[in-house]
Structure 1
Amino acid sequence: MNHTTANPLGTEKIPRLLVRFAVPSIIAMLVSALYNMVDQFFIGHSVGMLGNAATNVAFPLNTTCTAIALLFGIGGAANFNLCMGAGREDEARRYLGTAVSMLVICGLALCLIVNIFLEPMMKAFGATDDVLGYALTYTGITAFGFPFVILATGGGHLIRADGSPKFSMVCMLTGAVLNTILDPLFIFVFDWGIAGAAWATVIGQVISASIAAWYLAHYKTVTLRLADLKPKVRDCLQILSLGMAPCFNQLAMMVVQITMNNVLTSYGALSSYGSEIPLACAGIIAKVSMIFFSFVIGISQGLQPITSFNYGAQKGRRVKESFWLALGAATAISTLAFLVFQIFPRQIIALFGSGSEDYFRFAEQYFRIFLFFTFLNGIQPISSNFFTSIGKAKLGVFLSLTRQIIFLLPLILLLPVFMRIDGVMYAGPIADLAAALLAGVLILREMKKL
């Protein structure tokens, strides 16, 4: 059929396609992670450990922004590519317009909710009395950037679905570079402290969102009309069905982050470390590990348009080839990350400011134990996004919940009862192993069907 043979997603060699779509996706995810990493770096060297703890308390809201962006970004992109692969262009355009509108609406809603309930949120997220003031300042400012980061991140997926992964990368990269330049200027030169880091982040997000909005108004494969921007319930539900897996994965991370913050604060107070050291260390390590996960998630996102289009075009061999190539690349990167985390934990944590010997000792233990099965961490996200991209939303959602909600969350609550604060560390590798094994079983079963 003409619409499949003319589109490179249906004809170009899979390795070349995966590189073309995954590399910009990886860079876009790295940029998103670097927003937080850059703030963490400069805050650690200016405010210190309490500032690092404050950004950890605020981190669940950043995760919420990503969840919303993935819900409508990946959900919209998957439906768009499936429809384009099947030759249903008008339907594809409707999905695109609905996705754009929902990104904007949800971003504004989140900004409003956070500003109304800011202080109780920060306390619920684990802020101690010493950390609360910093958390209120940082989150109160960055909340104004939520609509922009959601549009930029979600819009990036829609831009990639249009066959422009490089533009999506440039969109995110521009904001991140600006944030990196403004951080030291606002923090050290203007002496704005943690507020300076927050304003630098917001400005970068506004620029990225502006670039994404310009592209969406000049889409290549279809012409987006004003009428398409009116959300339609049926289209929205279909977008939700295919966007739920990556969204739930992020929301699960948020729930785990909040729970972990409170458990670390509670059991840390009963240990020799105190409450703030575990809270600060866990926050830094979560953001460092996001650098690694950016590669894995970027590969899975680059896989999405390839598998969606070819599954819609009934090209099963290309679907299978793209999955195994993506999984192999993710596993290689996961193994490298495992070695780095095991060999250089003290050197990594030292990048984010100084601390006591207890601070470094806890960080080393946390790195080595909690992230022990990092080399298996490519299996679950690649498999989850694969099921979503071929329209099997229920399996995608289920797999997206396995590591965080089904395995990790109960372990975080249960193991510290017997092992105190060490129980949090051992919850990580047990959950990673269980999630990888389950994903492996389900994906092998699906491959036999294909």
Structure 2
Amino acid sequence: MHIQLSDKFTTSKLVRFTMSSILMMVFISIYSVVDGFFVGRYVGSNGLAAVNIVFPLVMTIGSFGFMLGTGGTAEVARAMGEKRDKAANQYFSLLTLVTVLMGIFLSLLAFIFMEPLCYFMGASDLIIDDSVTYGRICTLGSVFFMLQGFFQSFFVTAERPKMGFYLSILSGISNIFLDWLLIGVFGMGLSGAAIATVCGFMVSGLIPVFYFFSDNSSRLQFAKPGKDASMIRRSMGNGASEMVTNISRSLITVLFNVQLMQLLGEDGVAAISVMLYIEFVFTAVLIGFSIGAAPVIGYHFGARNGGELKNLHHSCLKIVGLVSVVMFIISELAASALVSIFVVNNPALIELTVQGFRVFAISFLFCGINIFASAYFTALGNGRASAMISFIRTLVLQVTMILLLPKLFGIQGIWMALPVAEALTLGLSFWYFSQQQRIFKIRPTDW
């Protein structure tokens, strides 16, 4: 049965509606880390460290597409809720154009300055050449990566979440097959890994362009873009929290790399690479749910359905809380198996990573609510609250803990940094929730 944004959502119906977005993000996260799997097995720990050095830069560029996608869906979904479908299509078209132009500019900058950027992000002389090679090839696909993140949100708004899911599967299969072919069969190493990644980006970044240009049956089509600069500013403001979250994740990875390179060398960077890969896949479930739920929240906010907003709020918190607990339990029970996916024939590195991951995984208990809170306030057009949660969570607490705790507890302090930061952020998220209770009383007649 086709589910529409205007429907009344039970908890089970919300899960069904968001499932495509969840699976889409999981598949995207899997093929985003599949390079690490093949590099770890065929190239070794130094190659794995080189990939992790560049990964923050790729994610930073992609975060601008994610910003315009999540922030823009709030504007487009609200326009749809207000029955302004023509304006919604014009907004969508203009946002797509801005994403492409921004991607071209950022890709050129990254390509030109790749070597100093890699040194800044923690590369040692031993892995600098591999890092630059992998990074320059990956930046050639940055525009497609930005479009991928951008269209993730808009497929949900167009009431076609399954299309995003199918594209993510196709992208993932392409990347995995090419990783196997180029690294495992032809022995191309990091160059092969980078080429496979770019091809995956192209699949999920280009196909939506052709779809929305066609005469499709979704709620969105490309139209002549408007010239609404204020809408672009609002979209950037609304999506700034998601961009901050993604850029901050990149900064956190850089800080981890720098700290661990000093304390443990390349093996330390390889260990945190594995932990962050696993975390990326696990939190993709929470991010995917938040992406899927956000247009529903934005639509009912635009339609002034206060009662439905209250139900959505409670259902979302129940779902996110349950998933967070399950993730933590799986992480503790299956830590050795998860680490062994990426590391083979290196018992010392496996032991180091497993011990650290069991502490690191405590963060899963808290991060789900924080991820949802940021997306929730973005959907309501409250970019300030969303940005504050993301800013304090990442650029204040996580950075502070990574810099402070190792001085107090050594290596254990590195693994403790994210759990402590997420636990402290949880209090802030619930404080903002308590301040937003008034929206549950709005009615359509309040216009």
The normalised TM-score by structure 1 is 0.93
Q: Which moved more, 1:210-219 or 1:284-293?
A: 210-219
**Per the alignment, in what secondary structure is the counterpart of residue 182 of structure 1?**
helix
1:277 corresponds to which of 247, 267, 274: 267
**Per the alignment, in what secondary structure is the counterpart of residue 141 of structure 2?**
helix
Change (3 A) 1:315 1:194: same
Query: What is the CA distance between 1:70 and its match in structure 2?
Result: 1.4
2:29 corresponds to which of 20, 33, 40: 33
Which amino acid in structure 2 is aligned with residue 77 of structure 1? T
- Is the contact between residue 115 and residue 143 of structure 1 (CA under 8 Å) also seen in structure 2? yes
1:243 corresponds to which of 228, 239, 253: 239
Change (3 A) 1:183 1:222: closer
Number of residue-to-residue matches in the alignment: 437
- Is the contact between residue 327 and residue 378 of structure 1 (CA under 8 Å) also seen in structure 2? no
- Looking at structure 1, the residues matched to 270 and 116 of structure 2 have their Cα atoms a distance apart, in angstroms, of 20
Query: What is the CA distance between 1:329 and its match in structure 2?
Result: 1.4
Query: What is the CA distance between 1:222 and its match in structure 2?
Result: 4.6
Which amino acid in structure 2 is aligned with residue 79 of structure 1? E
- Looking at structure 1, the residues matched to 409 and 300 of structure 2 have their Cα atoms a distance apart, in angstroms, of 49
Q: Which moved more, 1:274-283 or 1:211-220?
A: 211-220
Give 1:85-124 correspondences, 5 Å limit: 85-124=81-120
Change (3 A) 1:231 1:131: farther
- Looking at structure 2, the residues matched to 223 and 341 of structure 1 have their Cα atoms a distance apart, in angstroms, of 42
Deviations 1:180-214 (A, max 9, x none): 11111111222212211111111121122221111
Deviations 1:274-307 (A, max 9, x none): 3111100101110111111011011111111111
Match in the other structure for 1:3: none
- Is the contact between residue 155 and residue 216 of structure 1 (CA under 8 Å) also seen in structure 2? no
- Looking at structure 1, the residues matched to 272 and 131 of structure 2 have their Cα atoms a distance apart, in angstroms, of 16
Query: What is the CA distance between 1:416 and its match in structure 2?
Result: 2.0
Q: Which moved more, 1:68-77 or 1:355-364?
A: 355-364
Match in the other structure for 1:271: none
2:76 corresponds to which of 75, 80, 90: 80
Alignment of 1:433 with 2:423, yes or no, is: yes
- Is the contact between residue 370 and residue 429 of structure 2 (CA under 8 Å) also seen in structure 1? yes
Deviations 1:325-377 (A, max 9, x none): 12211221111111122222222111113254431232122211122131222
Alignment of 1:196 with 2:186, yes or no, is: no
- Is the contact between residue 102 and residue 231 of structure 1 (CA under 8 Å) also seen in structure 2? no
Which amino acid in structure 2 is aligned with residue 409 of structure 1? V
Match in the other structure for 1:375: 365
Match in the other structure for 1:414: 404
Q: Once superposed, which parts of structure 1, at least 4 consecutive aligned residues long, lie more than 6 Å away?
A: none
- Is the contact between residue 20 and residue 161 of structure 2 (CA under 8 Å) also seen in structure 1? yes
1:293 corresponds to which of 283, 294, 308: 283
- Is the contact between residue 246 and residue 385 of structure 1 (CA under 8 Å) also seen in structure 2? yes
- Is the contact between residue 62 and residue 142 of structure 2 (CA under 8 Å) also seen in structure 1? no
- Is the contact between residue 335 and residue 354 of structure 2 (CA under 8 Å) also seen in structure 1? yes
Deviations 1:23-61 (A, max 9, x none): 111122112211222111111110010111111101102
1:153 corresponds to which of 134, 149, 153: 149
Match in the other structure for 1:179: 175
- Is the contact between residue 31 and residue 172 of structure 1 (CA under 8 Å) also seen in structure 2? yes
Query: What is the CA distance between 1:448 and its match in structure 2?
Result: 5.4
- Is the contact between residue 156 and residue 212 of structure 1 (CA under 8 Å) also seen in structure 2? no
- Looking at structure 1, the residues matched to 198 and 220 of structure 2 have their Cα atoms a distance apart, in angstroms, of 31
- Looking at structure 2, the residues matched to 399 and 355 of structure 1 have their Cα atoms a distance apart, in angstroms, of 41
- Looking at structure 2, the residues matched to 373 and 203 of structure 1 have their Cα atoms a distance apart, in angstroms, of 33
Match in the other structure for 1:65: 61
Query: What is the CA distance between 1:165 and its match in structure 2?
Result: 0.4
Which amino acid in structure 1 is aligned with residue 253 of structure 2? Q
Query: What is the CA distance between 1:223 and its match in structure 2?
Result: 4.2
Deviations 1:368-417 (A, max 9, x none): 11221312221111111111101111001111222211211011112222
1:308 corresponds to which of 282, 298, 303: 298
- Looking at structure 2, the residues matched to 183 and 285 of structure 1 have their Cα atoms a distance apart, in angstroms, of 21
Change (3 A) 1:89 1:408: same
Query: What is the CA distance between 1:430 and its match in structure 2?
Result: 1.0
Which amino acid in structure 2 is aligned with residue 33 of structure 1? S
Which amino acid in structure 2 is aligned with residue 164 of structure 1? R
**Per the alignment, in what secondary structure is the counterpart of residue 9 of structure 1?**
coil
Query: What is the CA distance between 1:176 and its match in structure 2?
Result: 1.1
Alignment of 1:143 with 2:134, yes or no, is: no
2:311 corresponds to which of 304, 312, 321: 321
Query: What is the CA distance between 1:17 and its match in structure 2?
Result: 4.5
Q: Which moved more, 1:335-344 or 1:12-21?
A: 12-21
- Looking at structure 1, the residues matched to 152 and 211 of structure 2 have their Cα atoms a distance apart, in angstroms, of 10
- Looking at structure 1, the residues matched to 4 and 199 of structure 2 have their Cα atoms a distance apart, in angstroms, of 36
- Is the contact between residue 10 and residue 310 of structure 1 (CA under 8 Å) also seen in structure 2? yes
Query: What is the CA distance between 1:231 and its match in structure 2?
Result: 5.5
Match in the other structure for 1:341: 331
Match in the other structure for 2:445: none
Match in the other structure for 2:377: 387
- Looking at structure 1, the residues matched to 63 and 363 of structure 2 have their Cα atoms a distance apart, in angstroms, of 24
Match in the other structure for 1:332: 322
**Per the alignment, in what secondary structure is the counterpart of residue 252 of structure 2?**
helix
Match in the other structure for 2:122: 126
- Looking at structure 2, the residues matched to 42 and 293 of structure 1 have their Cα atoms a distance apart, in angstroms, of 22
Change (3 A) 1:83 1:16: farther
Query: What is the CA distance between 1:158 and its match in structure 2?
Result: 1.5
**Per the alignment, in what secondary structure is the counterpart of residue 163 of structure 1?**
coil
Query: What is the CA distance between 1:262 and its match in structure 2?
Result: 0.9
Which amino acid in structure 2 is aligned with residue 381 of structure 1? I
- Is the contact between residue 152 and residue 171 of structure 1 (CA under 8 Å) also seen in structure 2? no
- Looking at structure 1, the residues matched to 219 and 300 of structure 2 have their Cα atoms a distance apart, in angstroms, of 17
Superposed CA RMSD: 1.9
